Structure 1
Amino acid sequence: MTLAGLLTQILSFVLPIPAPLTSVLLWSSVALMWRDIPHRNQWQAGSLAVLGLVMLLLAWWIYGADIQILHILDGNIFVAAMLVGVSFIALIGRPAEQAAPPATRGITGRRGLAGTWLGVHLLGAILNLSTVFMVGDRLERRGPLTDSQLLGLNRGLSSAALWSPFFASMGVVITLAPGLSYTDLVGIGLPLALFSGLLTVFEVSRRFDVQHVAGFSLAPRSLLMPVSMASLVMLFHYVLTPDLTIVSIITLLMPSIALLANLLRGGIGLARTRIGRHIDYRLPAMRGEITLFLCAGLLTRGLSSLVDAATQGDWTLFPDFSTLPAMASYLAIVISAIAGLHPIIGVSILASMLDLDGAHQTLFGFVALASWAVGTSVGPLSGINLSLQGRYGVSGYRMMRHNLLYALIMSGLVLAGIAWLARDL
């Protein structure tokens, strides 16, 4: 069902395939895998879905809103399909390369910490969460992971949400604000991400003794894939298929390149084996992410429908989404992440209560990406911290305490970035 949802989404770029078909397939996969989702995720995703349905019902029952039944489940299907498509990028490298990332080579101290952050950041910008396990397992061969190593993994991945077009955060933001300027977001998000790395090296090395702590050495050849993938996306977006959004291009490109790479390397036999294994094991492992994004999309649709019906479309949370409202929105989402809510919930709720034009959409996009990047690093129940807890036994609340100062400093820079972006609004 998950694979069929991806394929119908890709075909819809060139054929008149109705969106409800993709949404039904993806929601069916969620229903089939629901029992295997961790209970905490079931509670959170289920609450979002129920709230969304209740608000749709209220909008129809009380205010007589015209609810398009066939499209109720369409929220965030672009993002869910993109997540599935991006997962296939793990099949582009040779099997041996997948199992053995570059060795640590005995690098320690600040240089080793910088290598860990940079390796996870650059590779994770393309491969997402799987990079944390690739690098973390490599480091763990030299002994149990220390707090400094775990912080390098945590911040290296979460800060990539500030700019990477392959992250779910960017997919959600572009879906909610299709008129934003991606180049403007990268222009401010990438420098912030680099500062995150410098701050991590400086702050963590002052708090912990990292002199003999192993780090990760990023070989130059490891940069080839992330640079190539990002270049391809930009080529399609600006030259070959300018009518397609970045989310659509990524959804189309990643599985296609993975299939082509395996066909060229080992023919139909290798391609069938590797892709079949990916479908059997990797796609079901994404059930928590897919469920959360689809349920958040249902919440957004329900809330926006209820607000529009109750106010006849004449009310927005902020009549003018400028500097102070943007700052308040960012802080609210980060605080809610610390309290245990995934940033997508705050971002989705905020988007449903705003009416944004092009320039304001870029500001909203930056608020959403920045709150996602900082919120997932410090939130005890975020995907990255839950993954570190499950894999390496570190408490999510312990990571939260270690990241509070980092979140405070990064928030100061984010607020300055908001003021700069909003200066001409």
Structure 2
Amino acid sequence: MQETTPRQQLAGVLILLGLIAQIIGFTGLVATAHAVSYLLWAAVALLWRDIPKRSRIQAGTLMVIGTLLLLLARFVYGAKVNWPAMLQGNTFVVAMLVGVSFIGLIGSRRGHEPAPGQKVTGAGGILRTWLGVHFLGIILNLSTVFMVGDRLARREPLKMPQLLALNRGLSSAALWSPFFASMGVVITLAPEMQYPHILSIGLPLALLSGLITTFEMKQRFELNDVEGFSLAPTSLLMPAGMAALVMAFHFWITPSLTIVSIITFLLPSVAALVNLRDGPLWTLRRIRQHTTTRLPAMRGEIALFLAAGLLTLGLSTFVRAVAGSEWTLFAVFGTPQAIFSFAAIVASALIGLHPIIGVSVLASVLTLEAGSQTLFAFVALASWAVGTSVGPLSGINLSLQGRYGVSGYRMMTNNAYYALMMSGLSIVAIILMGWWQG
């Protein structure tokens, strides 16, 4: 594992302290929102020079625009701005991402690794790769792509069908996984959305993604020598168990907390308890290693989410100051508006903007009634799933580029048909969701 500098290690400690402060805030005994935001932003400042250039430019641009909009709203239009709280946007989501990262500590002393199954090739191998990445990825997120990808790359460099299966298996999980950053953002922006409705449409749509991927790969590529990843059934026990725990806390143990809050404290707590089987010193050693190596490596996504939160605050404050608090982009957020919004966010992903930017901008110019929040949530999740799969600068494609040497442009062009098919199915699903909610 690559050594980190004292500066990066300090940033990792600040990120951990931000997570702890967020968890303390859930008790209601003390307000920690300011502390969480300051700790996370301080970590980003320390890690700024280490962020990849493209991500740094994108995050920096969002920060500048958000700050300028706040300044204009305050000094030109006389709006009230809570300056001490201006950095709090998306800190809930970032804390959740940090909490989820600790799930990587669950496993043997060699670290968590999916149990291998029988070697498979052909279309069946592609489908099993998709299934493995998808159902492990709903909990383990991006780390699953590397675990499965590295296993497939042991004999030879990854082929395009394998790369596409990795990409689509993970990105489609954004349609329904309560552990994904996409769901964290959506719950923050639409707190009254109905997750069971999202699950009932998002999960079948995600499974269609796997079938489309398998069928397309079979038509486009010769798959006889393309190895797939066979997921052993025991590998699903951990994701299923964690999901059941989250639902138990949500409905019975801590019903006052959101799913994002529950995930934030539950996953690192479970990881620590599991490691205590090997003794407290072993547990502390693993947490220390995670804090000083894994947490600083999250700098790109942390910076982007925090910057998007600042942009959302700046844009919403500016719009209210200019047009009045009653102005909204759509008088009613129904099916036609939802379809237009979905297309706009996916189109922005094609030119290199992360879907969180489109989702955040959309939320900042809408006044969402409780009845339309589930429809908005599904639009955000569907555009996120499609946009990250095809966007050349999305986190998954940048990760595949850095790890396996495939360009974002190649991934975009090879995902064009898939994105078109998934967009069509997503629009059908939006129509169904609109009818259901109506």
Same fold per TM (> 0.5)? yes
Aligned residue among 388, 411, 416 for 2:428: 416
Q: Contact between 1:104 and 1:139, CA under 8 Å: does it hold in 2? A: no
TM-score, length of structure 1 as denominator length: 0.98
Give the aligned partner of residue 202 of structure 1.
Answer: 215
Other structure's SS at 1:113 match: helix
**Offset, 1:18:** 3.3
Residue 272 (str. 1) matches residue 298 (str. 2):
no
Aligned residue among 174, 179, 184 for 2:192: 179
Give the aligned partner of residue 201 of structure 2.
Answer: 188
Whichever residue aligns with residue 17 of structure 1, its letter is A
Residues of 2 paired with 1:199 and 1:104: CA distance?
23
Q: Percent identity?
A: 62
Give the aligned partner of residue 290 of structure 1.
Answer: 302
Residues of 2 paired with 1:135 and 1:125: CA distance?
14
Q: Contact between 2:117 and 2:232, CA under 8 Å: does it hold in 1? A: no
Residues of 1 paired with 2:109 and 2:323: CA distance?
56
Residues of 1 paired with 2:348 and 2:117: CA distance?
37
Cα root mean square deviation, aligned: 0.9
Residue 327 (str. 1) matches residue 339 (str. 2):
yes
Residues of 2 paired with 1:236 and 1:381: CA distance?
36
Aligned residue among 373, 398, 410 for 1:386: 398
Listed as ranges, the gaps of 5+ residues in structure 2 are 1-13
Whichever residue aligns with residue 237 of structure 2, its letter is L
Aligned residue among 120, 135, 147 for 1:134: 147
Whichever residue aligns with residue 303 of structure 1, its letter is L
Aligned residue among 403, 406, 424 for 2:418: 406
Q: Contact between 1:104 and 1:138, CA under 8 Å: does it hold in 2? A: no
Residues of 1 paired with 2:165 and 2:279: CA distance?
39
Give the aligned partner of residue 319 of structure 2.
Answer: 307
Residue 49 (str. 1) matches residue 63 (str. 2):
yes
Residues of 2 paired with 1:213 and 1:311: CA distance?
57
Residues of 2 paired with 1:366 and 1:7: CA distance?
31
Residues of 1 paired with 2:108 and 2:69: CA distance?
48
Encode CA deviations 1:287-316: one digit per residue, 9 max, x unaligned: 101000000000000000001111221211
**Offset, 1:364:** 0.5
Residues of 1 paired with 2:63 and 2:83: CA distance?
15
Residue 122 (str. 1) matches residue 135 (str. 2):
yes
Other structure's SS at 2:279 match: helix
**Offset, 1:97:** 5.2
Give the aligned partner of residue 106 of structure 1.
Answer: 119
Residues of 2 paired with 1:274 and 1:130: CA distance?
17
Q: Contact between 1:5 and 1:22, CA under 8 Å: does it hold in 2? A: yes
Aligned residue among 41, 60, 81 for 1:67: 81
Listed as ranges, the gaps of 5+ residues in structure 1 are none
**Offset, 1:204:** 1.1
Whichever residue aligns with residue 148 of structure 1, its letter is P
Count of aligned pairs between the two proteins: 423
Whichever residue aligns with residue 131 of structure 1, its letter is T
TM-score, length of structure 2 as denominator length: 0.95
Residues of 2 paired with 1:191 and 1:101: CA distance?
24
**Offset, 1:104:** 5.7
Residue 228 (str. 1) matches residue 241 (str. 2):
yes
Other structure's SS at 2:161 match: helix
Residue 219 (str. 1) matches residue 242 (str. 2):
no
Encode CA deviations 1:217-274: one digit per residue, 9 max, x unaligned: 10011000000010011111111111000000000101111111111x2111110111
Other structure's SS at 2:177 match: coil
Aligned residue among 33, 44, 47 for 2:47: 33
Q: Contact between 1:8 and 1:17, CA under 8 Å: does it hold in 2? A: no
